[in-house]
Every structure is written in structure tokens, then in C-alpha cells.
Amino acid sequence: MLNGQRAAEKFLLLLHLLSSVALVWPHLARVGEDTTLTCRFAQRWDGELSVEWTLWRAAGPVVAYFYHRGSALDEHQDAHFRGRATVNESRLGQGDASLRLRGVTAHDEGSYRCIVYTPRWKNQQEQQLNVTAPYSQPQVSCLPLGGGRAQLTCLSSGGFPQSALGWCWGNGSAYTGPAQATEVSQAADGTFGLQRGLEVDTSWVPDLRCVVTHPRLNQTRSGHPSCPDQTTRGTDGLHHPEHCPQVNDSQSPCCPQWRIGLFLSAAVLLALLTLVSLRMRCCGSPFSSGGREEGGLAGSRGTRLDEGRGEDLLTPASRGVGQSRGCPRRETTLSAQTAGQV
């Protein structure tokens, strides 16, 4: 009986903890916008209600809002939230102590804790505020260095949280060559500025892009450089790099698949020309008269040899033996010459 009573007490204590402490729910807000962090409670109160909103940072908690015994106490509120963080006091009787933030900044990001309590009970909830700001369109400048080289510099600013700049080819594949590290700066409002450089051949410039990605907004922006006096342009109106960069992607814009097809076609054509040349060396040109004269001489010698023996032997050509085997005319001539010597 005693064990059952203790188990019931532990169960009731667990229910109380679950009802008084809520899970952390992430909330997303953009810089400059207004947002509301929800905090509700179901307990009754008799006027001695206190509401405290705090932002937890690495240095310790910061009071965003404090309400006690019927009024908000601004002297307990941190200067960063003064005039920006409020609670609709008329809705406290309905169990709503939600915090209203005006003009969200990057410094507002963090974990917030809402504590509503009286001398008899306490309700505590937490909520994560994630702040975001889009990065500007990357601006890429090009500085010719001479000797067919150029220095590219990419800039993007006003974003939050911190991200990174990357280089890629026009077809979307990543540039895997050596590049300078991303330089990060932070403005007074908490947003970040990004800068990254890259030194390449000037012929590669038209095919390169600078890209900044924003995971929270699922956003990607890119910018491309322009060095019109330093790039090469083909007869088809497209830019063609003079050298192929060392990348692991077969879809690199300077190594398209049509070049492989062109190489294979040239190899097949070369093989055919080699075969034709070898056959002409063996059989002679079918357009020369020497072959026909040799054939006629062989035929006449074959006829005289036949008359001497009293036989009517025909040359291979007169028998209609296939002319396409080996070198028929030259073989006939050599046979006739041998028979004449006999």
C-alpha cells in the first residue's frame, strides 16, 4: 500500500513538471520586422501576479520585460529592450503573457524564458528566437594583374546569421581550385559582411560566379565578374578559356563533352585514311594506267603459253575470280612472268 502511494505521488509530481515547463519552440523573425513570442498559462491568480521575460546569453540572463503587482517596471528592463519589448497587460486575465518585440535586430536572437508566478504557483516556458536577414546580391570586381592573370573580389553584406562565399562555374558545378579564405566583418546592427578573393587566368573570368547561400531562408544569390578587355571570345560569340582548370567535375564549362566526341571522330577518320593508304601501296592506284598495261601483258603471255602447250589456260582475271582479294592484278602479272620464264 505504501509503495502504491509513493508511485502516485511521483506521477503527480511528473505531471506538474510537464505542465509548468514547456518545450522550446523555435520562432523565426526577420531583421526590422515585429514579432511575438507566445507565453500562456492556465492557473488562476488574485492580483499578485508577476511576469518576467529574460534572454539567456553567454554572459548571463538579460531582462527583456518585467511586470509585478499590476504594472511594468521599466527600471528592471535592459536598455536594449526598453521601448521595444512589451506585454499586453489587459490579456493577463485571459492567461496570455506573450511578449511583443518591435523592430527585431540580430542582437535579439537567443533563448527566451517566460516565468509567470504568484506566491502559490509558478509557470515557466522557453522559446528560441532565430533571427534572419538576407545577404545582398554579390558584387564582383575584376583587377587585371598582367600576364594573363586577374584578381577577383566578391562582396556581400547585410546578412544574418554568418554564412560564407563560394565560387562556382556557370553551369553550377563548384570551383575546386585554390581560393582565398572568406573575410567576415560584423556591423553595429549585428549583421555580417563577407569578402572573398580569387586569382585566376583572365580567360576563365566569364565562366566564374560568386555565390552566397542562406540556409534559413533557403536562398542562393550569385554575381559574376566582367573583364571585357582581358577575356577571349570565339567566333561563336562564347568565351573559351585558354586552359582547362584542374577540377574533378566532368561537366566543367571549359571541358565540355563535345570535345571528347570531336577527338573520337578525328581518331576514326585517321584510322580510315591509314587503311586507304596501306591498300594503295599494295595494289596501286585504281586510276593509274600501269595496272591495266601489266594486266594486258600478263594476259598475252598467258595466251602464248597456252598455245605452246596445246591448252587453253585462262588467267585468273578471265576466269572471273574475285578482283577484290588481295592484289589481283599484280598477282596475275607475276604468275604470267613466271610461266614465260619456264
CB 333 within 8 A of CB 298: yes
CATH topology identical between 20-132 and 139-255? yes
- CATH, range 139-255: 2.60.40.10
Dist CA 77 CA 90 (whole Å): 20
Q: Residues 110-139: pLDDT tens digits?
A: 999 999 998 888 999 999 999 999 999 999
Q: Kindly report the pTM of this predicted structure.
A: 0.58
**Domain range 20-132, its CATH number among 3.40.710.10, 3.40.50.450, 3.40.50.2300, 2.60.40.10:** 2.60.40.10
Cis peptide before 61 (omega within 30 of 0): no
Nearest to 171 by CA among 222, 136, 230: 222
pLDDT at 120: 86
Q: Which amino acid is at 272?
A: L
The domain spans of the chain are 20-132, 139-255, 290-334
pLDDT digits (tens, 9 = 90+) for 273-328: 888 777 777 666 554 444 444 444 344 444 443 444 444 433 434 444 444 444 44
Give CA–CA dist 57/62, Å, rounded.
Answer: 7
Q: Which of 223, 196, 230 is nearest to 208 (CA)?
A: 223
146: left (phi over 0), alpha (psi -120 to 50) or beta: left
Strands 99-101 and 35-37: antiparallel
